[in-house]
Amino acid sequence: MSVNGAKVTEGSATILFSDPDEVFYNPVQQFNRDLSTTAIRAWAESRNQKAVAKAKHRQEIIEAREKKDENKVNSNQENSSPSGSEATAVPAEYSENNTKKKADEGNNVGFSVLEALSATGLRAIRYARELPDVKKILANDLLARAVEAIDANVKRNDVAHIVIPNKGDANSVMHSFKNQYDVIDLDPYGTAAPFLDAAVQSVADNGLLCITCTDSAVLAGNAYPEKCFSNYGGTSLRSDFCHEQAIRHLLYAIATAAAKYGRAIKPLLSLSIDFYFRVFVQVEAKPALVKNLHSQSALIYHCSGCGSYSIQRMGKTVPGRIPGSTKYTNATGPTISANCEHCGFVHHLGGPVWGGPLHDAEFIGRMRKIAENLDEETYGTKRRILGMLAVAAEELLDIPFYFIISQTASVLRAQSPPQNTFVSALLNAGYRVSGSHAKSNAIKTDAPWAYIWDVMRAWVQDHPVNYNNIKPNSAGSMILKKECTSKVDFTLQPGAEFSSKKAGYTRYQMNPTENWGPKAKAGKRKISETDVQTKSIDKVILSNLKLLFFVANILVNCIVDS
């Protein structure tokens, strides 16, 4: 990516705009765009393969029926009089022409995209140039200035046959085209919440939603739990796993919006990146799957003392009386006692959030294969894409949330065990363990908190703590008062070193640039710069006035004295 005044080259697109402050562009989001291109390619590839397989299957059925009819005709002919040459007509739907038409439908792989909040059109142009089989992209923005920029950039990049610039409100556009767009990309300022209801209706069956939210303070902080509840239907918490919780709030909001219309979501890839969240979700018009949302939704109990947590599912599924059927029932609870069993502190309640898987393993595998062949010149963030996908691929998909080893140690005011030592203790006890893309040193495991605290107690036996540093009624003191009741074996396991580490890609990005983060709205930046200038001018005037008063005061005093 290169920025030269108002000219930007990113991926295979070069865009120009007369005033960079008039239309939004954030260079740090190149990763978002590189990643999205790769994700849409993976989704399209999988869709093509399924369509071809379906068409092939259909063709096989048709051919089998034709053969059956042919045999019937032959046996009729054999049994009838020699003059009886009447053949059974092949029904129109099985005619040769029709068979070919149906098979071709399976190969009709082109797809449409709506970039509902397009700004400069850069993303839409990149999609047009970089996605094979994309046939139409509507690049929409509310601002006339943005649409002018999109129009000029589309022509400049020779993609006018694919990208159609459009001025309109994203929600109105999506409501006007229900069940139409194969891919919808939402990349708003801050929250995508106001656009979800329209997006889940506008996307075609088995279509893909690509959604960004940059309102991290709401989704991943504890300062606005009420705002998080209003926007996403769940309460945020202060926790070590807040970044994963943020993704789960967003997925929950998408899933509940879709459920009202008999649509279920399948998260393909859900990431916490830098200062924002980006999810790739397939939407399926399958009311039977929507029933699972009940048990896929979960409340979180988070201990205010030691940070341990527990999940309370909203519903339960059990096998029905008819073999293969499912019964949907009420969950039982609460899953924990009022006070934490480890430290005695109270719990805070978070959620409900999406409690299902964050990613689809097959989809990540497909993306990784595509990413490996990306040209690094065009895809400047290739190594980061590969690194992040490698970590995401390792994540335990059935285990919501994680803890941070150093934070757990700090509750006991203890030295932090090395990651591979801690992970080995969990593996040696037969538990499953993975990291998380959302935070380095995060541990996802199916080990219960009682065992996690026992690992820490065993660690402390060999690495004593200074009890003077532990307050008498603190969570740490309560935990250390209890005996370690499990057998803990710290023998190093080869699997304790996550294999994504060995590949040497960028797994966890440091701040990509100075002053990075979500950019202010287009136009606002200009206003704030003007504000700064105005404030500086005001300061100069004020200090000059003060000087003038000071001099005048001396003169008056001199006159009075004389």
Ligand X SMILES: C[S@@+](CC[C@H](N)C(=O)[O-])C[C@H]1O[C@@H](n2cnc3c(N)ncnc32)[C@H](O)[C@@H]1O
Q: Which is nearer to ligand X, 34 or 360 (CB)?
A: 34
List the structure tokens of 335: 């899953």
In this chain, which of 278, 342, 347, 507 binds Zn ion, going by CB under 5 A?
342
Choices 25-33, 153-161, 409-417, 441-449 (CB under 6 A): range interacting with ligand X? 25-33
In this chain, which of 8, 117, 210, 237 binds ligand X, going by CB under 6 A?
117
Choices 88-96, 197-205, 258-266, 301-309 (CB under 5 A): range interacting with Zn ion? 301-309
In the list ligand X, Zn ion, none, the entry touching 118 (Cβ below 5 to 8 angstroms by class) is: ligand X
Bridge partners of residue 326, in order along the sequence: 319
Spatial contact of 256 and 236, defined as CB atoms under 8 Å apart: no
In the list ligand X, Zn ion, none, the entry touching 297 (Cβ below 5 to 8 angstroms by class) is: none
Spatial contact of 279 and 271, defined as CB atoms under 8 Å apart: yes
In the list ligand X, Zn ion, none, the entry touching 433 (Cβ below 5 to 8 angstroms by class) is: none
In the list ligand X, Zn ion, none, the entry touching 343 (Cβ below 5 to 8 angstroms by class) is: Zn ion
Q: How far is the CB of 305 from Zn ion (least distance, A)?
A: 4
Query: From CA 363, how far away is CA 389, in angstroms rounded?
Result: 10
122 contacts ligand X (rule: CB under 6 A): yes
How does 520-558 read in b/e, with b if 16+ C-beta sit within 10 Å? eebeeeeeeeeeeeeeeeeeeeeeeeeeeeeeeeeeeee
39 contacts ligand X (rule: CB under 6 A): no
Pick the closest to residue 270 from 207, 211, 336, 182 (CA basis): 211
Query: From CA 314, how far away is CA 320, in angstroms rounded?
Result: 19
In the list ligand X, Zn ion, none, the entry touching 303 (Cβ below 5 to 8 angstroms by class) is: Zn ion
129 contacts ligand X (rule: CB under 6 A): no
Query: From CA 203, how far away is CA 184, in angstroms rounded?
Result: 6
Residue count at the site for ligand X (CB under 6 A)?
Answer: 21
Q: How far is the CB of 513 from ligand X (least distance, A)?
A: 16
Query: From CA 398, how far away is CA 401, in angstroms rounded?
Result: 10
For every residue of 104-125, which 3-state class applies, written as one string?
Answer: HHHHCCCEEEEECCCCCCHHHH
Q: How far is the CB of 303 from Zn ion (least distance, A)?
A: 3
Q: How far is the CB of 349 from Zn ion (least distance, A)?
A: 14
Q: Where are any strands of DSSP class E within 308-386?
A: 309-313, 315-319, 326-330, 347-354
Choices 137-145, 227-235, 261-269, 502-510 (CB under 6 A): range interacting with ligand X? 137-145
Q: How far is the CB of 411 from Zn ion (least distance, A)?
A: 8
213 contacts ligand X (rule: CB under 6 A): no
94 contacts ligand X (rule: CB under 6 A): no
Spatial contact of 361 and 397, defined as CB atoms under 8 Å apart: yes
319 preceded by cis ω (within 30°)?
no
Q: Interface with ligand X by CB under 6 A: which residues?
A: 24-25, 29, 33, 117-120, 122-123, 140-143, 146, 169-170, 187-189, 522
